[in-house]
C-alpha cells in the first residue's frame, strides 16, 4: 500500500472545519467552520481568504449554477446564500421536531443535494440513531431516503456514473454503499468497508475519476483511499489528529485538500497538535471529478433554472 504526506495549505485554526469542496470556475476552495458558524473561501493561486459569518452553525454546502450563490446546510435548515449581498433565503427546515442538526452533504451527479443529520444528545451522552438521510430535488421538494436511521451522517459520495452512493454512520465505523437510481432512490444497501478494530472513525469523503473513495479518518490523522472493490491502496498522513473531510481540487483536480478540527481537544492535546484546525494539501497523479452543482433555484431568483451542462457531463461515466 502506498503512503503520502500532506502539508499545511491554509492556516485556519478552525474549531470544526468541514464540508470542503473545489469550485473550478473560480479556482477556489469553500469550506465551513461548523462551531464558529463561518463560511470560508480560499484562492490557492493568490493566497486570498474570505470569510462570512452565518446566523447559526453551518454544516455543509453545495455550489449552485451561478457562482454568486451557494446552497447551505445550516444546523436547522437549508438556505440559499447570495455571496455578494450576504442575503439568505430559507428553502426548508429539517427535522424541527428532533434534537438533531444537519451534518454532511453532497450533490449527486444529477444536481440534487443529498445530506444527512446528526443527533445532538444532552449531557455528553452517546448519540442515538434518530437522524436520517434526505434528498433535495431541483424543484426544492425534500425527500427522506429509504435508509436506516443514523446517529451521525457522514461520508456521502457518488460513483463517477452516479449510480452508487456511499455513506456511513460514523460511530458504527462501517462504510456502506447502495444502488442509487436516476430518480434518486436507494436500494440494495450493504456493508462495503468495515473499519472496526482500526484507528479512527470515517468522516467526510470524496470520489475520484477512477472510482476511488477518499475517506478522512477522524482521530487517526490520515485520509485513506479505497479502490472500487473496497481495498485500501493509499494512506495520506495528515499532521493533525482530527482530519474531517477531503476534496480533490486545483487546476488538474489532482491536489488533495483536507479540513481538520480542534473540537474536543484539551489544552495539553492542542500543544501537542499545533496544526489542528488547519487545511492541508498533497499533490497526486490521481484526478478528481468536477464538483456537481445544485440545479435548483428559488422562484424568480437570479439563479439559472435550466440544467447546467456541467451536471449533464457528470452524469456520464463509469462506476
> 203-213: per-residue pLDDT in tens?
999 999 999 99
| CB contact burial 225-252 (16+ within 10 A = b; e otherwise) | bbeeeeeeebbbebbbbbbbbbbbbbee
pLDDT band at 318 (very low <50, low <70, confident <90, very high): very low
pLDDT band at 315 (very low <50, low <70, confident <90, very high): very low
Residue matched to cell numbers 489532482: 254
The percent of residues in the chain predicted with pLDDT above 90, rounded, is 91
pLDDT band at 84 (very low <50, low <70, confident <90, very high): very high
pLDDT band at 303 (very low <50, low <70, confident <90, very high): low
Predicted local confidence at residue 306, as pLDDT:
37
**If DSSP states are collapsed to H, E and C, what string results for the chain?**
CEEEECEEEECCCCCEEEEEEEECCCCEEEEEECCCCEEEEEECCCCEEEEEECCCCEEEEEEECCCCEEEEEECCEEEEEECCCCEEEEEEECCCCCCEEEEEEEECCCCCEEEEEEECCCCCCCCCCCECEEEECCCCCEEECCCCCECEEEEEEECCCCCEEEEEEHHHCEEEEEEECCCCCEEEEEEEEECCCCCCEEEEEEEECCCCEEEEEECCCEEEEECCCCCEEEEEECCCCCEEEEEEECCCCCEEEEEEECCCCCHHHHHHCCCCCCEEEEECCCCECCCCEECCCCCCCCCCCCCCHHHHHHCCCCC
pLDDT band at 288 (very low <50, low <70, confident <90, very high): very high
The percent of residues in the chain predicted with pLDDT above 70, rounded, is 94
CA distance 165 to 16: 25
CA distance 126 to 6: 32
> 131-182: per-residue pLDDT in tens?
999 999 999 999 999 999 999 999 999 999 999 999 999 999 999 999 999 9
C-alpha cell at 176: 456502506
> 245-261: per-residue pLDDT in tens?
999 999 999 999 999 99
Predicted local confidence at residue 313, as pLDDT:
36
C-alpha cell at 270: 492542542
Walk across the sheet containing 113-119 and list its strands: 100-107, 113-119, 133-136, 142-144
pLDDT of residue 302 exceeding 60: no
Work out the average pLDDT over 70-90.
Answer: 98
Predicted local confidence at residue 298, as pLDDT:
82
Predicted local confidence at residue 307, as pLDDT:
36
> 11-20: per-residue pLDDT in tens?
999 999 999 9
pTM value? 0.93
Predicted local confidence at residue 308, as pLDDT:
38
Q: Rounded mean pLDDT of the chain?
A: 94
**Domains with residue ranges and CATH for the chain:** 2-314 (2.120.10.30)
C-alpha cell at 181: 437510481
Amino acid at each position: 500500500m502506498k503512503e503520502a504526506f500532506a502539508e499545511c495549505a491554509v492556516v485556519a485554526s478552525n474549531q470544526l472545519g468541514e464540508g470542503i469542496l473545489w469550485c473550478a470556475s473560480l479556482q477556489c476552495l469553500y469550506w465551513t467552520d461548523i462551531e464558529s458558524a463561518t463560511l470560508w473561501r480560499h484562492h490557492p493561486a493568490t493566497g486570498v481568504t474570505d470569510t462570512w459569518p452565518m446566523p447559526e452553525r453551518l454544516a455543509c454546502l453545495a455550489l449552485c449554477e451561478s457562482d454568486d450563490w451557494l446552497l447551505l446546510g445550516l444546523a436547522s435548515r437549508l438556505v440559499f446564500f447570495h455571496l455578494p449581498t450576504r442575503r439568505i433565503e430559507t428553502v426548508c427546515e429539517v427535522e424541527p421536531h428532533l434534537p438533531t442538526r444537519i451534518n454532511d452533504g453532497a450533490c449527486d451527479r444529477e444536481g440534487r443535494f443529498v445530506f444527512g443529520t446528526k443527533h445532538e444528545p444532552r449531557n455528553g451522552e452517546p448519540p442515538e440513531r434518530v437522524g436520517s438521510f434526505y434528498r433535495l430535488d431541483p424543484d426544492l421538494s425534500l425527500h427522506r431516503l429509504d435508509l436506516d436511521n443514523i446517529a451521525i451522517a457522514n461520508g456521502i459520495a457518488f460513483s463517477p456514473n452516479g449510480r452508487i452512493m456511499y455513506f456511513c454512520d460514523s460511530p458504527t465505523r462501517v462504510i456502506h454503499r447502495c444502488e442509487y437510481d436516476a430518480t434518486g432512490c436507494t436500494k440494495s444497501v450493504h456493508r462495503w468497508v468495515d473499519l472496526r478494530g482500526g484507528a479512527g472513525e470515517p468522516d467526510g469523503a470524496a470520489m475520484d475519476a477512477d472510482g476511488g473513495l477518499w475517506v478522512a479518518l477522524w482521530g487517526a490523522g490520515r485520509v485513506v483511499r479505497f479502490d472500487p472493490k473496497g481495498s485500501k491502496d493509499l494512506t495520506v498522513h495528515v499532521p493533525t489528529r482530527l482530519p474531517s473531510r477531503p476534496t480533490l481540487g486545483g487546476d488538474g483536480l489532482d491536489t488533495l485538500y483536507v479540513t481538520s478540527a480542534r473540537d474536543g481537544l484539551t489544552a495539553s492535546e492542542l500543544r501537542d497538535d499545533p496544526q489542528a484546525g488547519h487545511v492541508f494539501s498533497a499533490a497526486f497523479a490521481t484526478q478528481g471529478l468536477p464538483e456537481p452543482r445544485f440545479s435548483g433555484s428559488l422562484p424568480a431568483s437570479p439563479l439559472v433554472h435550466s440544467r447546467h451542462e456541467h451536471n449533464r457531463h457528470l452524469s456520464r461515466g463509469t462506476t
